Amino acid sequence: MEEFSDKTVPPCPFQKRYPSLLALDDGYYMTLAYNLAIDAWNKGEVPIGAVVEFEGEVVARAHNCVESTGDPTAHAEILALTSAARAIGDWRLSGATLYVTKEPCPMCSGAMVMSRISRVVYAVRDPKMGCLGGATDLNALPRSNHRVIVDAGVMEQECLELIQAFFSVRRQGGAAE
Ligand code: ZN
């Protein structure tokens, strides 16, 4: 008989999507982030994915890696920001846009302000921990001289279903739905 740890989850039941290259719009980049979230699920991680676009190119892709690294800071957005800075050759990410499947937490929202990234697009709003408008708005620190443009709700339904399904399955101790 197989034994399941409480972190064991069955393979992700959602399929990756293949967006049209004809329109490199927010939906396109968010679809890439969505696909990374599916990769995260299949590695037993909370399914959150992020990509960074700069000058029309994807310069960073990451998904949540907290479980595999044992590192509480290994959120998709932090990994994507670090990777984007390396790719661009500058820690200042002015001109870049980060796409992430869930509203950034306090740590990641802070990192985005510090990186001076131009724009953040997220899918699922998080009224509990989201810090770009959901629970609070770090972007509105009264004396901060950097403002990130924020757009919420792109592919919200798809990304929400993915995250909810993951937690539902994990709560059941790994039993498939
Ligand atoms: Zn975070």
- 3-state SS, one letter per residue, for 29-80: HHHHHHHHHHHHHHCCCCCCEEEEEECCEEEEEEECCHHHHCCCCCCHHHHH
What's the CA-to-centroid distance between 76 and ligand 1, angstroms? 7
Tell me how far the alpha carbon of residue 101 lies from the centroid of ligand 1, in angstroms: 11
Residue 126 CA to ligand 1 center (angstroms) comes to 11
Q: How far is CA 132 from CA 94, 119, 120, in A?
A: 18, 11, 9
For residue 136, pLDDT beyond 60: yes
Query: In 3-state terms, what secondary structure has residue 11?
Result: coil
Percent of the chain beyond pLDDT 90?
84
Whole-angstrom CA distances from 137 to 14, 98, 103, 157, 162 are 31, 17, 11, 22, 25
Rounded to the nearest angstrom, the distance between the alpha carbon of 83 and the centre of ligand 1 is 15
- To the query of whether residue 77 is one of the catalytic residues in this protein, the response is yes
The pLDDT of residue 55 is above 60: yes
pLDDT at residue 7, rounded to an integer: 59
Residue 19 burial (10 A CB sphere; 0-12, 13-18, 19+): middle
Asked whether the predicted pLDDT for residue 62 surpasses 80, the reply is yes
Q: How many CA atoms lie within 13 A of 140 on its CB side?
A: 8
Contact, 19 vs 28, CB < 8 A?
yes
Whether the per-residue pLDDT at 3 is higher than 70: the answer is no
Out of 26-40, 100-114, 140-154, least confident range? 140-154
| pLDDT in the model for residue 153 | 96
Given the residues 77, 158, 161, 177, select the one marked as catalytic: 77
Ligand 1 centre and the CA of 78: distance in Å? 7
- Please state, in angstroms and rounded to a whole number, the distance separating the CA atoms of residues 140 and 120: 14
